[in-house]
A and B are shown apart, each in its own frame.
Chain A
Amino acid sequence: MQYEAVIGLEVHAQLLTESKIFCGCSTQFGAEPNTQVCPVCLGMPGVLPVLNRKALEYTIKTGLAMNCKISPYSRFARKNYFYPDLPKGYQISQYELPLCEDGYLEIITDGERRKIRIKRIHLEEDAGKNIHDLSGYSFVDFNRTGVPLMEIVSEPDIKTPKEAALYMKKLRAILRYLGVCDGNLEQGSLRCDANVSVRPVGSQEYGVKTEIKNINSFRFVEKALEYEIKRQIKLINNGEKIIQETRLWDSITGTTQSMRSKEEAHDYRYFPEPDLAPVVVSSDWIEKIKKNMPELPDAKIERFIKDYGLPAYDAEILTEEKSLSEWFEEAVRLGGKPKEIANWIMVELLRILNEENKDITECNFKPSQLVELVNLVDKGIINRNIAKEVFEEVYKTGKSAEFIVKEKGLTQISDDSVIIEAIKQVMDKNPKEVDRFKNGEEKLIGFFVGQVMKLTKGKANPKLVNELVLKILKEQ
């Protein structure tokens, strides 16, 4: 039997507010343990939470970007459980009345646009971190306690691990465009839990689902789901039962392992948080936030296709990161031809950034530098192959392209006489090939061009070389 997967994702995104959700402590990542804490986030007796309006605004922004309804009236609730990293013994979260509901975001899969529905987006506080060391004691770092966290829950609309990855990518892009989350899965500012079940293709009923936790990299979104789907299908085929449980993704073994079963699941005893008034969001406020929304990835893709005549593929890649799209537009603004600039970015710049594991914002290479380089090619001062060499040099040293061309003597040879001289030298050295050409082996033209380019150290104008080689050989 053929099986299909049903996948829903629960994504937690740490908000980029300066201070925590219910107190004034800094949210900066990486500080010394317990240096960004106060009585409120330490859950000391008698202290009270005060909601950070910025966190609320960021969540509304995200809700709007994901086409959600923003509830005019929502509530915080307490989620009760004991754990050392949870100082109050409960997490302030939202339960019955979340801030945002009923949205969707679009992914393009196999050339087809698909809506993945968003069930809800709510706001909550992050927990601290337990640190276990060799002494046998455990320690708790409360710096992360109270960092605002947004939970984005999708409907089970995702059909394949690849779609799940696309959904995550789109979601991350939106969060980064909005500037509400830096989207770092490795550092945990973006976390992904997946609910997955399988069922016979065409069936309307859901199978028994498992929840996979600890998917801490983009690569693993697909891998973990692939593994889990295979595992479930195998169980069914062996006549075994799938148990509703929480499973932990282990990236080292590439498997998921049972963490706790449904019977062991916590009873969180949710109830409305009495220390916080209900959250009332006025339509005026929503309108104000709407007006200040940045252009989002989908709109930008469309504009890039329309205004710059880019293929959809290029537009999507260039808009994945807001910073990259802005880099591209700056280069175009400085006079670069859009498709040309796009090619350079996609083929050369992204390759080198990828090699260095860097972001466009982390390198010193400027749009003006790329435009200068492209202009040198356009003017015929250097050829395309040499330009690649110059590009790397500019990227690494920060020197101007023109300076590098001069310094290294890379100017393109467009002088007929120099090229003809080179062609003659090549013909003299390769009389057999000349003969074969004469006897009709026309494809040998490539051989002669290559030899000429080699002789001129790649500097000859390839177009000219082509023309002249053909002309001289024919004249023979």
Chain B
Amino acid sequence: MELHKLTLTELSKMINRGEVRPHEVIIDVFKRVQEIEPKVKAYITLTTDKAYEMARDAENAIFAGKRNLLTGIPIAIKDNICTKGILTTCASKILYNFYPPYESTVTSKLLKQKYILTGKTNMDEFAMGSSTENSGFHITRNPWDLERVPGGSSGGSAAAVAADECIAALGSDTGGSIRQPASFCGVVGLKPTYGRVSRFGLVAFASSLDQIGPITKSVADSALMMNVIAGHDPMDSTSAPIESTDFREYLGHDVKGLKIGIPKEYFIEGMDKEVEERIKEAINQLESLGCIPVEISLPHTEYAVATYYIVATSEASSNLARYDGVKYGLRAQGNDLLDMYMKTRSKGFGAEVKRRIMLGTYSLSAGYYDAYYKKALQVRTLIKSDFEKAFENVDFIVTPTAPSPAFKIGEKIDDPLQMYLSDIFTISINLAGVPAISLPCGFSGKGLPIGLQIIGKPFDEAGILQLAYAYEQSMPWHKMKPNL
């Protein structure tokens, strides 16, 4: 049996029933990885030895009667989430040798459940990018078309899930970094409400926007992962003091009468025709399930990209100041302190990271702060209130996840502005702090997956999952696999 092809929900049931042992699972998954990884290159680090150890721990737990949702489940973790004693690079040369002496809160929760870590996945350096081409180590290929990017920055996690190189994965989303690669790779990616999942141990890119979330093969898998990772964390002051719920509870509930807002600003002149068609078909499908589409307006949408690139880069310029060669990571020898700083950071950071550090430093500089950073914060408030107003009248908002299907490797890498625009539909959601999911809603003529984004009210992940599940179960998309 090809265990690696199973969804998390299916495999969890089988392990729980004793139909399959974690050891068999991990053997099968690593067989798959061996076969596929040379083509896809989803991982930066494979933790094979560790995984076998963890499989043994999982079996012992099962033997002791301590079974949990994720016991014995092979999961890939994005390489910006700290795992104790396991190389965590953020795909940056500056952290090429960084072994965190601590565990992130999310992976601690997975560890408690005795999950199996398959490895740390590739990403754009410090999560800055939309194609995973900005990795300091290698590029990752889209399992549906190896000539194309898997999206980013969680491209490694999305590709690993799509290629069945793991059962589920964790990614992080600052401006679309879970949803856009999920869309490109034909899998399900959820960005929870800001504050829903602890950020402790997530290497910061833009602290006020970053959220960890699951990338999975199905909506039910996403709910299952959320059951484990969501919840207040005293180690993260920005985590919401809100009780977590059983996110699976609403799966299968009727969606009749739910109002879904269709923001006119998201269907723009010149957008990819196939994307537009698939999204319109998806809206029709939702309507046939009993939802009521309502045209709405999110008037400040056009400012989202500019706002985002000021807020995110400003925070990043500060967050990345700690990589100075003094304490850990790369150090280039210099003649004096300043020389050491400059050589270390010049060698350690890639072009996109440097670009963003410079942008952010500029925005925060004396004399520019009011015109850029402060203004951006004000616009951010307006964008947030756009959503608040919209949600007075609708239950969910439905949009495309990305303006196009996966693009070709190298196509946009030399044009940062074009690259930035691939997050145009996902960025506002981070600025507003609301939750959103991307799930497959069909394919382009070239056989590339297209993603549907469902945005919910703050902390209504359960509602999003309910609607997404209803759609998913009524369509065949989640059963499609890339031909590798």
Contacts and interface: CB of A to CB of B under 8 A. Distances in A.
B237 A82 contact: no
A275 B207 contact: yes
Given A45-B98, A47-B200, A267-B366, A80 B318 contact: yes
Interface string B327-343: 11000000001000100
B402 to A, nearest CB: 26
Interface string B365-407: 1100100010000000000000000000000000000000000
Given A80-B321, A88-B321, A47 B234 contact: no
Interface in B298-352: 314-315, 317-318, 320-324, 326-328, 337, 341
B324 A89 contact: yes
Interface in A242-292: 267, 269-271, 274-277
B82 interface: yes
Given A46-B202, A84-B326, A87-B322, A271 B373 contact: yes
A44 B320 CA distance: 11
A294 interface: no
A230 B104 CA distance: 58
Contact of A50 (B204, B235, B341, B365): B235
A72 interface: no
Contacts of B314: 271
A49 interface: yes
B58 interface: no
Given A42-B327, A82-B324, A47 B102 contact: yes
Contact of A276 (B81, B200, B237): B237
A89 B200 contact: no
Contacts of B322: 43-45, 87-89
A45 B235 contact: no
A274 B364 contact: no
A84 B238 contact: no
B203 interface: yes
B207 A45 contact: no
B327 A274 contact: no
A73 to B, nearest CB: 15
A39 interface: yes
A39 B101 contact: yes
A271 B373 CA distance: 9
A123 to B, nearest CB: 14
Contact of A78 (B88, B238, B318, B341): B318
Interface in B193-249: 199-204, 206-208, 234-238
Interface in A88-106: 88-90
Contacts of A270: 364
Interface residues of A, number: 29
B90 interface: yes
B324 A46 contact: no
A67 to B, nearest CB: 30
B326 A274 contact: no
A46 B104 contact: yes
Q: Which of A42, A43, A89, A277 has the most CB of B within 10 A?
A: A89
Interface in A101-149: 138, 140
A87 to B, nearest CB: 6
Nearest to A276: B237
A84 B90 contact: no
B361 interface: yes
Contacts of A88: 321-322
Contact of B321 (A48, A51, A90, A275): A90
Given A45-B322, A78-B318, A80-B364, A277 B238 contact: yes
Interface of A is mostly: loop
A203 B418 CA distance: 60
B237 A50 contact: yes
B87 interface: no
Most buried by B among A45, A82, A270: A45
Contact of B201 (A43, A47, A271, A277): A47
A82 B337 CA distance: 10
Contacts of A51: 237
A109 B100 CA distance: 57
Nearest to B325: A84
B204 A46 contact: yes
A45 B366 contact: no
Contacts of B104: 46
B95 interface: yes
Contacts of A276: 237-238
Contacts of B199: 46, 48
Contact of B364 (A43, A45, A271): A271
A84 B337 contact: yes
B82 A49 contact: no
Contacts of B207: 274-275
Contacts of A48: 199-200, 235-238
A87 B236 contact: no
B318 A89 contact: yes
A270 B208 CA distance: 16
B244 to A, nearest CB: 19
Nearest to A78: B318
A43 B104 CA distance: 15
Contacts of A42: 327
B379 to A, nearest CB: 15
A44 B364 contact: no
Interface in B50-96: 80-82, 88, 90, 95
B328 to A, nearest CB: 7
A275 B194 CA distance: 12
Nearest to A130: B337
A270 B104 CA distance: 28
A49 B364 contact: no
B108 to A, nearest CB: 13
Contacts of A267: 365-366
Contacts of B202: 46
Given A80-B364, A267-B365, A277-B238, A46 B318 contact: no
A78 B206 CA distance: 14
Contacts of A46: 80-82, 88, 100, 104, 199-204
Nearest to B126: A45
Contacts of B364: 80, 269-271
B100 A82 contact: no
A271 B203 contact: no
Nearest to A90: B318
Q: Chain B CB within 10 Å — which of A49, A87, A269 has the most?
A: A269
Contact of B237 (A87, A89, A277): A277
Interface in A47-88: 47-51, 78, 80, 82, 84, 87-88
Nearest to A81: B321
Given A39-B102, A50-B235, A82 B203 contact: no
Contacts of A89: 318, 320-322, 324
Given A89-B320, A271-B369, 9 more contacts: A39-B100, A39-B102, A45-B98, A46-B80, A46-B201, A50-B234, A274-B315, A275-B204, A275-B238
Which 5 pairs, one residue from A and one from B, show the smallest C-beta to C-beta distance? A89-B321, A269-B364, A274-B207, A274-B208, A45-B203
15 contacts: A43-B322, A44-B322, A44-B327, A45-B82, A45-B95, A45-B98, A46-B104, A49-B237, A84-B324, A87-B326, A89-B318, A89-B321, A90-B321, A269-B364, A276-B237
Interface of B: 80-82, 88, 90, 95, 98, 100-102, 104, 199-204, 206-208, 234-238, 314-315, 317-318, 320-324, 326-328, 337, 341, 361, 364-366, 369, 373
